[in-house]
A and B are shown apart, each in its own frame.
Chain A
Amino acid sequence: MTNTYYEFFCPVKVIAGKAALEHIPYELSGLGAKRPMIVTDKGVRAAGLLDPVIAACEESNLDIVCIYDDVPPDSSTTVVRDIAAVYRKEKCDSIIAIGGGSAIDTGKAVNILVSEGGTDIAKYSGAGVIKHPLKPFFVVPTTAGTGSEVTSIAVITDETKGVKLPFTSSFLLPNAAIIDPRMTMTLPPHITAATAMDAMTHSVESFTCMAKNPLSDAYATAAIKKVSQSLLQVMDNPKDSDGRLELAQASTMAGIAFSNSMVGLVHSLGHATGAICHLPHGLCMSLYLPYVLEYNLETIRQPLGELLLYLEGPEVYADTPASRRAEASISALRKLRDALYKRCQLPRTLKETGKVTEDQLDHIAEMALDDGSIMFNPKEVTLKDARAVLQRAWA
């Protein structure tokens, strides 16, 4: 018997498809919640994305008690404390986070404070500190990429200490994730592309890194198929609601996959690049993915070869000799990136971003080496290796 072992956990109720938002009142009442608070950002509100949620609740005689719409892109402990104060003042009993990664992480952190008590979120930082179920918490993602609606982690910046505080607990998982194509319909092309490539990277790394397991594999491959089949379609026709739903579902499935099998070097490099050069996460994922796969190639040849089926379909898979499928998978991803570059100039190299200088590569490599996700990369990475990957990704 081998030492094979894995864990898989996802208790989030996924409510997906046409008129999914209209299920929110019923689902809230099922948890005994009557006074929900919405946590979101100004961009989401300005785009009119709150309107269908509010209308859906009002039609079921459920009042949204208050709306906090000032979540910044990089949420902080102060913001979390302020929102918790509003929640308490208004006697809310549940939270609906509507937005991208920052609004969702903020919602998770606010839920810790209002459920556990106190005003200092920092004291709940770390793994397994929270021991009790929290207040009813729903997430409505407005991007299709982060998968935050099904992950048990939140990251909040501690402004006073200048550090990012991670919060990890299965109790952070929302009660429900509501995936409605109306919420991503107005995403601009470059954000649609970058976030979809984020979901693609979550899936590919989930399928090729060390903690892969049969259940996360199933979610990862399904997500890859959906992104491969729908992304360019949506780029060409942004109002394609079926395509939008496919991408949104892919993002959630990729989130379930990677939160149960972790990610690798693409994320290590992406986190470091994001921190140093302030590039969006999805863009970094798209940028580094083929270069890291080439670096890992000989360690992941078999699983990467299998992905060709989901990237290019059964005909290409059958026509490609087994020994060439891994390389063909990388080519398929490069082809997709080229198509995205043509449509929205999503950068394929660090130079194309125009925001990274070559002398920053050493710093990025050093920071990437200390990133937690590097532990799960299938191949050992030294500083020299990380530098070499960055150099290839440069131009």
Chain B
Amino acid sequence: MLTKRIQPMASQAKRLYVELMFQVMGRALQAVSEVDSVVQTEAKALPEGFLFEMMVMPDGSKLIVEHMGEGRFHYHGDTAPRPVDVSIKFKHLTHAFLVLSFQEKTSVAFAHDRMLVDGDVSYAVRMTRVLNRLESFILPKIIAKRAVKEYPVDLHLPEKLTSAARIYLKVATHFVQSARA
């Protein structure tokens, strides 16, 4: 009886967590493309106007970013201005929760068929590298190691802290601006 009551609450909590994480990640993707040259180099190979989506199937939370050119991303929230070019789709809310709560690495989730790629796979691979780079910056090393296949050996504490602070500041500013708008 108790389980039956708790289950919808747990499901709702997962939904809210995934939605919040997508909002943070979307803004952080925009921020990291403004502060990190490695991410900018990766993003420059994407076509200008390229739209990338991460979403939960069938019609759950999503994040959409656009490559504006020069390696810069712009976060569009959960609404795309036109059909997206590449979408990484989690097959179920639970799978998205496993990845976004760092219980399962993104690479492992791909290997476990938790998500699928719709669009050009090479762009999806590139975006996954960008996401890994972002996670390595903004997460404490002990958690980042659970999120990425391999924590970058050349990412040292001073660079990590400086970049993370700049990314978080930009994310917070973007949240405030969105709330005001």
Contact = CB atoms under 8 A, between A and B. Distances in A.
Interface string B2-44: 0000000000000000000000000000000000000000000
B110 interface: yes
B51 to A, nearest CB: 16
A128 B107 CA distance: 21
A372 B112 contact: no
A271 to B, nearest CB: 10
Interface string B108-132: 1011111011110111111011000
Interface residues of A, number: 21
Nearest to A372: B121
Nearest to B112: A5
Given A375-B125, A380-B149, A7 B107 contact: no
Contacts of A210: 107-108, 110-111
Interface in A8-37: none
A61 interface: no
Contacts of B114: 5
A380 B150 contact: yes
Interface residues of B, number: 26
Interface in B140-156: 148-150
B104 interface: yes
Given A166-B121, A210-B107, A7 B116 contact: no
B84 interface: no
Nearest to A384: B154
Contacts of A371: 122, 125
A375 B110 contact: yes
A321 B59 CA distance: 54
A126 B119 CA distance: 7
B103 interface: yes
Interface string B41-80: 0000100000000000000000000000000000000000
B93 interface: no
A6 interface: yes
Nearest to A262: B111
Contacts of B148: 380
A318 interface: no
Interface string A356-395: 0000000000000111101110011000000000000000
B118 A126 contact: yes
A370 B126 CA distance: 6
B122 A3 contact: no
B98 A379 contact: no
A289 B109 CA distance: 25
Contacts of B129: 369
Contacts of B117: 127, 372
B125 A372 contact: yes
The 3 closest A-B pairs by CB, nearest first: A380-B150, A370-B122, A211-B111
Given A5-B113, A210-B108, A370-B45, 15 more contacts: A3-B103, A3-B104, A5-B112, A6-B113, A127-B118, A262-B111, A372-B117, A372-B122, A375-B110, A375-B111, A375-B128, A376-B107, A379-B149, A379-B150, A380-B149
Interface of B: 45, 98, 103-104, 107-108, 110-114, 116-119, 121-126, 128-129, 148-150
Interface of A: 3, 5-7, 126-128, 166, 209-211, 262, 369-372, 374-376, 379-380
10 contacts: A3-B104, A127-B118, A370-B125, A372-B122, A374-B125, A375-B107, A376-B107, A379-B150, A380-B149, A380-B150
